[in-house]
Structure 1
Amino acid sequence: MSAKKEPSVWQGFKAFLMRGNVVDLAVAVVIGAAFTNIVNSVVKGIINPLVGAIGTTSLDNYSSCLTSSCQGHHGIRLMWGSVLGSALNFVITAAVVYFLMVLPMAKYLARIEARRRAREGTHEVVEVTELEVLKEIRDALVAQRGSGHDAR
């Protein structure tokens, strides 16, 4: 009976690092960090001043007191202005990302797809939802593994 030699910790770590999804994740994190700076610059430099022209640029000073007095460190203060400001910042950031990045990219990709179809002589338009794409990916992964899991 020969005992099967288990891979060393170093070999396991090397195999983990060589997987494509680890490298893809690392690239996504780096690109995401750089992209965050672009989006924050657009929000802080363009959107926030426009919003500030209508109202205030900082909602952090708005609060309510739950007790009779909120002087200094006494009393219970609800800082609802901070929460509202963060929520607005999120909505503004999401809008900037969608309208300045996602929507133009989707239109660009649709034009490329239309040109490809025109070259191939195919003029049918097929709308594929994100859910359908994810189901296809799931089914392909299940088939690739050869497992007996049923596709839902």
Structure 2
Amino acid sequence: MINRPSANPTDKLACEDGILPPCRRAALLCNKTATLDALASAEIARIQVEFEELPFGCLIDSFDAFGHAGRFGLPDLQIRYAEPGRRRRFRHRKLHLISALSKMLDDLLSDDRDSLTAAAGILQIDVTRRTFLLAGQSNGFQQQSFRRLY
């Protein structure tokens, strides 16, 4: 099952002071919308993802999905994932939800690279509120806690 994002993405990033280039920020917004639409179509109310940032990208340690009936296994969802292309266009490709979330976590963490080195934490996605809450701790030389709403 392939879910396509809404025609007019209305989601906004609550954190506007990040360091991502505008093209990456726009792709992140499209991917956030596509992810939320896919989760809503699968009747998932919220998910919680535990992650760890490694040198080659983000590793998802665990994934919990919750709906009206409680906690359940993740259905096989694919996301139409957007990546910046040429001339303000996006290249799209199909990715499994876990792969898409891993790539999105890379962008979310690199949005504040100065304070996040080798981070680990939790990404909570609330489908009804259409928000991503990223919280955790950087494990670099100076450990810092972070909490950002997207």
**Fold match (TM-score > 0.5):** no
Larger Rg: 1
The two structures have a TM-score, normalised by structure 1, of: 0.24
Q: Relative to total residues, which structure has the larger strand share, 1 or 2? A: 2
Q: Larger relative CO (CA 8 A, sep 6+): 1 or 2?
A: 2
The two structures have a TM-score, normalised by structure 2, of: 0.24
